[in-house]
A and B are shown apart, each in its own frame.
Chain A
Amino acid sequence: MDFETDRFISTLVDRAPPHALEHLQLVLIPLVIAFVVAFPVAILLTRRRFIRSTERVMAVFNAGQTIPPLAVIAIFFPFLGLGREPALLALTIYALLPIARNTLVGLKGVPREVIEAARGMGMTDWEILIRVELPLSVPVIMAGVRISAILIAATAALASLVGGGGMGTIIFAGIDFFRVELVLAGTLFIVFIAILLDRVLTVVENILTTVHLKSR
């Protein structure tokens, strides 16, 4: 293939941006929904009452990661058809595991003597969760969110295969028509989105992380 610079520039500037916006939505919406689901569930799994269900529930999240997103779309095709909705669902399911697993690991990693002392002083279970366990788990939980973000940023490229839009439209057009300029432009946008997300989440993490963890 030869490389036509004009076409590359015009793709970058004209054709790609609307799809970039679509792509951003395809990343942010599943990320937020996955967080809203995985985060509380993982917290519940660390509570004494539900601790025995941990393995079973984590197996569900595991499956969510292992089943390829396109297969998920195929499974839900009778209910959701093609287009944006099944793509969003598949990406949400895909994003659950890193958030759930990291929340679980983060909470379990809080030193037991800290929780024991907090209980012994008379903090309620809720106070311990909010004031001790979660603040101490922020770095690990945020690592999970960032992993999910980057995974979905890349995987969202597949959404276009089922009519879901996003940067995949440009990339697969480039593949189908042997236009490397399109593939490159599309990929650059995905990389840019991934880096942007990572930066933003890092800022969020820094705001949430308390001093003692920052100075380590």
Chain B
Amino acid sequence: MIVLDEVTKIFPGAREPAVDRVSFQVTEGNICVFVGPSGCGKTTILRMINRLEEPTDGDIYIKGERVKDKHVNADELRREIGYVIQQVGLLPHQTVEQNVALVPRLLKWPADKIRSRVAELLQMVGLDPQEISHKYPYQLSGGMMQRVGVARALAADPPIMLMDEPFGAVDPIVRERLQDEFLRLQKELKKTICFVTHDINEAIKMGDHIVILAAGKLIQHGTPREILTAPANDFVKDLIGENKEIKLLELTRAAELVKPQAELPPALSSNGCCVQSIDPVQRALEIMLKENSDTVGVRDGDELIGAISWAAIKEYINAINANI
């Protein structure tokens, strides 16, 4: 859906390019996370997609059309793309309702359509429209502000959303809630999302596809599992950090490591004995530690289909480590 072709950006007066011949694609309906250290160019690339910056060289295509050619004015392009930034940037002199309604108002939607859409959006992001529509941004907490920011970006139902460290300005507990709720929302909405973060853990959690950048260059891109199991170089290994094994277990489904087993060891209590086949293996590991057992059952709904053993987990990890 979004294609970047040899995109380059050199800021006037700079010796090095901020973005250096980067090419990759974003599949429709995916969350593509741009991750890398500060100054790697991830935000610049994001801002070139909606023409807040213009590339010095190279092209960006949305659905086959060059972003430059799609509209006469860049403003019109931006009304079709949702934009969420870290500090949110709600208009302080307007109510929550007026803020969320911003793009529909620019597009001249009828008033009652706008009103019902705002209520719908606020509920979607977990806020109570009655409570919050008439409030001003200074009356909101950080988490609430960011939810309003997301609602605002979704208002005109754009197919593409650009998000620049959207959950960076809130505390870790709120951040995790926002991430989970956003992933739940995305399951319903299936937007094409470009998400910028400097946090590799957030990238692995949120991304269907990860693009790793450093100093303007594309270092590696792939699914979270590909990045974890086949890091391209030491930089990527360092970026992933020390506990990649656990991260990998969070990404691997129980169904992958399950071996058929007719009965479970009696030591396992009936409540905490099993995981679902779609659950991450990491949850099975937690049960092993809690119940002091080497085996955890795997169910599909109510039906027992087999078990995961500690040995199987170790075998899996060892195999991956041997290949890196």
A210 CA to B94 CA in the complex, in Å? 8
Q: Is A120 an interface residue (CB 8 A)?
A: yes
Knowing A121-B79, A123-B75 touch, does A116 contact B93 (C-beta < 8 A)? no
Q: Is B62 an interface residue (CB 8 A)?
A: no
A79 CA to B169 CA in the complex, in Å? 61
Q: Check A120–B50 contact: CB distance below 8 A.
A: yes
Q: Is A111 an interface residue (CB 8 A)?
A: yes
Q: Check B103–A121 contact: CB distance below 8 A.
A: yes
B66-84 residues with Cβ-Cβ distance < 8 A to A are 73, 75-80, 83
Q: Mark A112-151, 1 if CB is under 8 A from B, else 0.
A: 0111111111111001000010011000000000000000
**Additional A-B contacts beyond A111-B87, A111-B89 (5; CB < 8 A):** A117-B149, A120-B52, A122-B77, A122-B80, A132-B91
Q: Check B78–A121 contact: CB distance below 8 A.
A: yes
Q: Is A51 an interface residue (CB 8 A)?
A: no
Residue ID in chain A nearest B103 by CB atoms: A121
Sample 27 A-B pairs with CB under 8 A, ordered by A number. Answer: A114-B89, A114-B90, A114-B92, A115-B89, A116-B52, A117-B83, A117-B90, A117-B91, A118-B91, A118-B102, A120-B50, A120-B52, A120-B78, A121-B102, A121-B103, A121-B106, A121-B152, A122-B77, A122-B79, A123-B102, A124-B75, A132-B91, A132-B93, A211-B93, A212-B92, A212-B93, A213-B93
Knowing A121-B152, A212-B136 touch, does A114 contact B79 (C-beta < 8 A)? no
A residues whose Cβ falls under 8 Å from a Cβ of B: 111, 113-124, 127, 132, 135-136, 210-213, 216
B130-152 residues with Cβ-Cβ distance < 8 A to A are 136-138, 149, 152
Query: In the complex, what residues of A have CB within 8 A of residue B77's CB?
Result: 122
A78 CA to B156 CA in the complex, in Å? 64
A114 CA to B85 CA in the complex, in Å? 10
A21 CA to B136 CA in the complex, in Å? 44
Q: How far is the CB of A70 from chain B (nearest CB, A)?
A: 43
A60 CA to B47 CA in the complex, in Å? 38
A212 CA to B88 CA in the complex, in Å? 17
A115 CA to B90 CA in the complex, in Å? 9
Query: In the complex, what residues of A have CB within 8 A of residue B137's CB?
Result: 212
Q: Check A117–B88 contact: CB distance below 8 A.
A: yes
A136 CA to B162 CA in the complex, in Å? 26
Knowing A113-B88, A119-B52, A136-B93 touch, does A211 contact B136 (C-beta < 8 A)? yes
Q: How far is the CB of A214 from chain B (nearest CB, A)?
A: 10
**Chain B interface extent, by class:** 20 to 34
Q: Check B92–A119 contact: CB distance below 8 A.
A: no
Query: In the complex, what residues of B have CB within 8 A of residue A213's CB?
Result: 93
Q: Mark B283-307, 1 if CB is under 8 A from A, else 0.
A: 0000000000000000000000000
Residue ID in chain B nearest A120 by CB atoms: B83
Q: Check A114–B91 contact: CB distance below 8 A.
A: yes
A116 CA to B75 CA in the complex, in Å? 12
A212 CA to B93 CA in the complex, in Å? 5
Query: In the complex, what residues of A have CB within 8 A of residue B87's CB?
Result: 111, 113
Q: How far is the CB of A111 from chain B (nearest CB, A)?
A: 7
Residue ID in chain B nearest A213 by CB atoms: B93
Checking A113, A116, A122 against B103 with a beta-carbon cut-off of 8 angstroms, the contacting residue is A122
Q: How far is the CB of A55 from chain B (nearest CB, A)?
A: 20
Query: In the complex, what residues of A have CB within 8 A of residue B86's CB?
Result: 113
Query: In the complex, what residues of A have CB within 8 A of residue B79's CB?
Result: 121-122
Query: In the complex, what residues of B have CB within 8 A of residue A115's CB?
Result: 89
Q: How far is the CB of B167 from chain A (nearest CB, A)?
A: 15
Query: In the complex, what residues of B have CB within 8 A of residue A212's CB?
Result: 92-93, 136-138
Q: Check B92–A113 contact: CB distance below 8 A.
A: no
Knowing A120-B78, A121-B152, A123-B75 touch, does A210 contact B85 (C-beta < 8 A)? no
Q: Check A123–B89 contact: CB distance below 8 A.
A: no
Checking B73, B85, B106 against A117 with a beta-carbon cut-off of 8 angstroms, the contacting residue is B85
Question: Which 9 A-B pairs have CB atoms at the shortest separation, nearest pair first?
Answer: A117-B89, A120-B83, A122-B79, A122-B78, A113-B87, A113-B89, A210-B93, A212-B136, A122-B75
Q: How far is the CB of A135 from chain B (nearest CB, A)?
A: 5
A213 CA to B136 CA in the complex, in Å? 10
Residue ID in chain A nearest B106 by CB atoms: A122
Q: How far is the CB of B67 from chain A (nearest CB, A)?
A: 14
Q: How far is the CB of B190 from chain A (nearest CB, A)?
A: 22
Q: Check B106–A123 contact: CB distance below 8 A.
A: yes
A64 CA to B77 CA in the complex, in Å? 45
